[in-house]
A = this chain, B = another copy of it.
Amino acid sequence: MSFNAGVVGASGYTGAELLRLLAGHGDIDVSVVTADSNAGKQVADIFPSLAGAYAGTELVPFSAEAVAGLDIVFFALPHGESQRFVPLVIDQVAHVVDLAADFRLPADSYAEWYGHEHTAPAFIDRFAFGLPELFRTEIETAQHVAAPGCYPTASSLALAPLLADGLVEPTGITVSAVSGVSGRGRGLATPGLFSEANENVVAYGLLHHRHTAEIEFALSHVAGRAVQVLFTPHLVPMTRGIHSTCVATPAVGGLSTASLLARYRDYYADEAFVFVLDEPPATKSVLASNAVQLTVRFDERTNSVLALGVIDNLTKGASGQALQAANMLLGLPEAEGLSAVGVVP
C-alpha cells in the first residue's frame, strides 16, 4: 500500500533532501510540494538534481486545503514558521513531521532559548521528540513528530550510553562540534558565501547556541536527571556533515576504553543506523546516508571520557531522521527508503 505525502517548503535544503529520499521510497508517494516564493515553478527548475524523479511536479503555494487529507505532511520551513502553519493543518492530516525547531522543546525552555514566547504552545505536547534511538517509545505512541536538530542528534547519540548508565557526571560536559555549511540553510547571508566559508573555520553561537537546549533535553531524558552541557559549534568548509567531540567526567571508577566500546555496542545493538567503531569516525563515511558512527575512549591520564559522533546533517540530522520517524508513524519498516551506506569518496 502507498501513503500520500506532502512536503511543505521544498525550496530549502531539507526539503530537497526529503524529496531526494522520498524518490526512492516504495510506499510513500509525494502528492503535494509547496514553496511560496517559488510557487508556479517546477521542482526540477529549483533543483535540477531532482529532474529524474519529479519531472513535471509543480510547486504550489502552501495552504491548508493543499495538504488536507494527506497521510503525512513534512514541514521543512525555516525555524519559527511551523508554529504559524502547523496549527492550520494538524487536524486535517493524519501525521505531521516538523523539521524545524518549533515543536521540539517544552514552551518554557523554548522561550528561554529562543528569546520569545512560543505562539502555539498548546500544540507542543502533540509532538514526540523525533530521535528514534532515544525516544522510540514516545514516537511509537505519538501522532506527530518534531525531528531534532543536527547537532543534538550527533551529540546526544554520542553521549547517551554514558548518561543512561550513570557512567559520567551530568554536569561539566563539553561538546565541541563542527558542521558543514549546508547547516546554515539556503538563505542568503555573507557567512554562507563560498568565498567566506571556504578555507575557513569559525565558531559561532558561543555559550548560547539554541541546540544546547535540545542536547540537554535529550540527554536529561536519557539520564533521568538534569544534564548540563557547554556546546560550541563551528562552521567548517564542507557541504554536509556534523562531527561532535564530547568530553565528560567519569562518575564511576574502573572505566576503560574496551569496556566503554562494549557498552556502546550493547546499547545500540538493535539499531539499524548506529555503528560503533574502534577507530575515530569520519563524516565522509556517512555522507548522504542515515548512518551514525561513534567511538569512545577513556583517558586515564586526565580522568576523562571522550565520545565522538558523526552524521550527515541533512540526512540523519534532518530529512533522513524525519523519514525514519515518518516510517514509524505510518507503521512501515523504520529503515525503509533510507540507506546506511555513505557516498565515498
Q: Report A's interface with B, CB cutoff 8 A.
A: 13, 16, 20, 23-24, 47-53, 171-172, 174, 176, 178, 180-182, 184, 186, 188-190, 192-204, 206-207, 228-230, 232, 234, 236-241, 243, 245, 247, 249, 272-273, 275, 277, 279-289, 291, 293, 297, 299, 301-302, 304, 306, 308, 310, 314, 339-345
Residues of B within 8 A of A285 (CB): 47-49, 51
CB-based contact B237/A202 at 8 Å: no
Residues of B within 8 A of A49 (CB): 284-287, 289, 341-344
Of the residues B178, B190, B206, B286, contact of A306 by C-beta under 8 Å: B206
CB-based contact B16/A201 at 8 Å: no
CB-based contact B194/A190 at 8 Å: no
In the complex, A197→B281 CA distance in Å? Answer: 13
Of the residues B203, B237, B308, B343, contact of A236 by C-beta under 8 Å: B237
Closest to A295 in B: B206
CB-based contact A178/B201 at 8 Å: yes
Chain A to chain B contacts (Cβ below 8 Å), 23 pairs: A13-B195, A20-B344, A47-B344, A49-B284, A49-B286, A49-B342, A49-B343, A49-B344, A50-B344, A52-B291, A186-B345, A194-B198, A195-B239, A198-B239, A200-B238, A201-B282, A203-B245, A206-B306, A207-B297, A207-B306, A229-B302, A236-B238, A288-B343
Instruction: Knowing that A192-B194, A201-B243 touch, tell me 14 more A-B residue pairs with CB under 8 angstroms.
Output: A13-B195, A24-B339, A49-B341, A49-B342, A172-B172, A174-B174, A174-B304, A198-B237, A199-B240, A199-B284, A200-B284, A203-B308, A234-B243, A240-B345
What is the total number of copies of this protein in its complex?
4
* Shortest 4 CB-CB contacts between residues of A and residues of B: A52-B340, A49-B342, A176-B176, A200-B284
Q: Which of A277, A301, A343 has the most CB of B within 10 A?
A: A343
In the complex, A206→B299 CA distance in Å? Answer: 9
Residues of B within 8 A of A50 (CB): 341-342, 344
Whole-angstrom distance between the Cβ of A343 and the nearest chain B Cβ = 5
CB-based contact A345/B241 at 8 Å: no
Q: Which of A229, A249, A282, A306 has the most CB of B within 10 A?
A: A282
Q: Knowing A195-B186, A230-B306, A304-B174 are in contact, say whether A206-B297 is a contact too (CB < 8 A).
A: yes
Closest to A47 in B: B344
